[in-house]
Amino acid sequence: MIVKVEAVLIADNPATFVTREIDGVELNFGGMEGDRHFGVLAKADSRQPMYKRGTEIMNRRQLSLVSVEELQGIADRLGVQTIRPEWLGANILVSGAPELTKLPMGIRMMLSSGGGLVCEGENVPCAGPGRVIAEHYDDKSLTKQFVIQAQKSRGIVAYVECPGEIKPGDHIEIHL
């Protein structure tokens, strides 16, 4: 399965998880340098309740990937025109992946540059992006609705297995 990179984005403003588009980036071990989720290690939080909060663990959530098709599906269900990848803090927007969120943990996603990512499965939706969407459309009900309507379509998280460049127009080969 081959998907196309439509946008590369970074969360480099410490005040927010919202990302901004960039021309491309050299992914390194740990993810995207300068991004708030960068690091080979990370501190356990509410996503890893089996570890005491703050414990150092391997960072399996370095990058967030979303698909054009799934974002449009969420927008349709919310009755809004569009959901921008920035609002979800996504790092990579791809097209050609209407079921991106269903990709299983552990599979490889090979970059055009020769680098590779490992899928860590569904990025379960939380209220943060919902609040950004609610603010944008000036409709508070969208916060909770996002969490409900984005289930199983909010994209995946991944980590860098092998460093390499990624930029819009590239393709990613998913090894199922």
Interacting residue ranges for a second copy, rule: CB under 8 A: 29, 40-41, 44, 50-52, 55-58, 60, 104-108, 110, 114, 116, 118, 120-121, 159-162, 175
By beta-carbon proximity to a second copy, the closer residue of 15 and 41 is 41
Q: Using an 8 Å Cβ cutoff, are 132 and 18 in contact? A: yes
Q: Is 71 exposed, middle or buried (0-12, 13-18, 19+ CB in 10 A)?
A: buried
Residue number, 59 or 153, with CB nearest to a second copy: 59
What is the nearest approach in angstroms of a second copy to the Cβ of residue 168? 23
Nearer to a second copy by C-beta: 38 or 159?
Answer: 159
CB-nearer residue toward a second copy: 121 or 128:
121
Q: Could you tell me the smallest distance in angstroms from the CB atom of residue 60 to a second copy? A: 7
Question: What's the min distance (Å) between Cβ of 56 and a second copy?
Answer: 7
Q: Rounded to the nearest whole angstrom, what is the least distance from the CB of residue 173 to a second copy in the complex?
A: 9
Structure-token pair, residue 75? 């927008």
Kindly state the smallest distance separating residue 122's Cβ from a second copy, in Å: 11
Residue whose CB is less far from a second copy, 106 or 169: 106
* Residues 8 and 2: beta-carbon distance below 8 Å: no
**Following DSSP, what letter does each residue of 6-30 receive, concatenated?**
EEEEE---TT-S--EEES-EEEBTT
